[in-house]
Amino acid sequence: MLNRFQVGHFGLLALALGSLGLAYLGWKKSNRDPSPLPQNPYVQVFFNQAETHRYKDPYRQIRRSGENLEQVLLDAIDQANISVDVAVQELNLPYVANALINKAQAGIAVRVILDNQYSEGWSGRDRNWIRQQDSYSRGKYENLFAFGDIDADGHVSPDEAAKRDAILMLHQADIPIVDDTADGTKGSGLMHHKFIVVDNRTVVTGSANFTLSGIHGDWLIPESQGNANALLHINSAELATAYTDEFNLMWGDGPEGQPDSLFGSPKPMRSLKTVSLPGSTITVQFSPHRADTPREQTTNGIIAQALSQAQQSADLALFVLTDQGIANTLAANPKIQLRTLIDRSFIYRYHSEALDMLGLSLPDHRCKYEKDNQPWHVPIKTVGYPHLADGDKLHHKFALIDDRTVVIGSHNWSKAANNKNDENLLIIENATVAQHFKQEFERLYQKAKLGRTDYLVNQMRKMQEKCGTSQF
């Protein structure tokens, strides 16, 4: 096994050999690949694992299927003549950092908001601290240090960090950055937004963090294509104003000012806002909401309301689904065709509503069941997880309703997103946009593991033996 921080020449060789194989396999277009769909001129949609497009990963130099979401970000930033506002949980893409620096040096106003966990450069992290983190965090830093070790000598030099550590690059260029401790606290739940506003007229948003793993793929896993994600590029001054207002609440008076930034539930109530574009109606909602907010006025309540309007079908592609109210809404509409995909790492957790859909309950490690759990009396078999490359997650947060309405955003369908995290959600009525999400869902669904899988059945049996209960 590779030493975590001394990848050296072996790590580089493994990456190169993997790249050679994937350059052939990923670039060769199958006759069965779907054709690219037309884009709406005002609302454009991009998927990093789409089989309709090919691109060359600018860092790993791997030719692979998918749309280059980093290029979507770069193109938007390149159009800026006045301002660029970036609010994203995590950013580690050097080309994006360079683009922001170049704009700032050209006199364009650039502001960046990050989650406090990611507001300092990774290259300055203490190695002992990193070794004490959970396996996910250790793996993240292992990949970043390997990525930064350009000459493969086993360590990241200051010169290498200045080229590969995106946040360090921003700090060195004096780009103003705020995180969710700017309100005088230790941080909100998560500053989980993923959006850019350019010149108060263009919004780029979706489910993707601006990271290697969120867009291109893990550095040390050549077959990785990045977590399955979407970005939307929307031209609307009215929508951009709504996102700028959200940004300004968090920005306050900027870095090193008064602790007047607002993150999390202390924000004022932001009501639904609907904007119209030629051929499109777009509704935006920001999270979180205070605990005393009526359910129907919260983001999860708005998602449930949209799902309740389904007449024929609802296709869900989600990182997590743990909101009981949303599951209950779906259960109350049994006549529609419901298909649900959830990330493999979350789908069978005791509080996952996928278990409800399957008519099952799993206790937690203490043999306790989720409070108010409601397994469906009429289970469905069309719930499961997609097959993805090693290291990749289903990071989508979208629903396609009746093949015409899309629900999409940074907002996971969870209590934390509803009541703690800084999030955004869009509901888009547009037939062309809907077809893009239809194509993406079908791509994921055709190779999905559905129903009561062998793994799930084994988990049920293990918990029966441990807890002495049976809720098949």
What tens digit of pLDDT does each residue of 313-331 get?
999 999 999 999 999 999 9
pLDDT in tens, 355-381: 999 999 999 999 999 998 999 999 999
pLDDT at 354 over 70: yes
Q: Which residue has the higher pLDDT, 39 or 12?
A: 39
pLDDT interval class at 34 (50, 70, 90) = confident
* Helices marked H in 29-124: 69-78, 94-105
pLDDT interval class at 235 (50, 70, 90) = very high
pLDDT at 4 over 80: no
- pLDDT the model gives residue 471: 59
- pLDDT the model gives residue 27: 42
The HSE-up count of residue 158 (CA atoms within 13 Å, CB side) is 1
pLDDT interval class at 12 (50, 70, 90) = very low
Q: What is the DSSP letter of 15?
A: H
**Bond before 288 cis per omega within 30 degrees:** yes
Decide which of 3.40.630.10, 3.40.50.720, 3.30.930.10, 3.30.870.10 is the CATH code for 269-471: 3.30.870.10
Return the residue matching tokens 């869902």: 441
pLDDT in tens, 120-138: 999 999 888 888 999 989 9
Across the chain, mean pLDDT equals: 93
- pLDDT the model gives residue 8: 43
Amino acid at residue number 89: Q
pLDDT interval class at 411 (50, 70, 90) = very high
Beta bridge partners of 230: 47
Q: What is the largest distance, in Å, between two alpha-carbon atoms of the chain?
A: 67
| Cβ–Cβ < 8 Å for 260, 253 | yes
Give how far Cα 188 sits from Cα of 99, 281, 345, Å: 28, 31, 24
Q: What's the average model confidence in pLDDT over 446-456?
A: 97
Q: What's the average model confidence in pLDDT over 154-166?
A: 97
- pLDDT the model gives residue 26: 44
- pLDDT the model gives residue 470: 53
| 38-121+165-262 carries CATH number 3.30.870.10 | yes
- pLDDT the model gives residue 50: 98
pLDDT in tens, 379-393: 999 999 999 999 999
Domain ranges in the chain with CATH number 3.30.870.10: 38-121+165-262, 269-471
pLDDT at 9 over 90: no
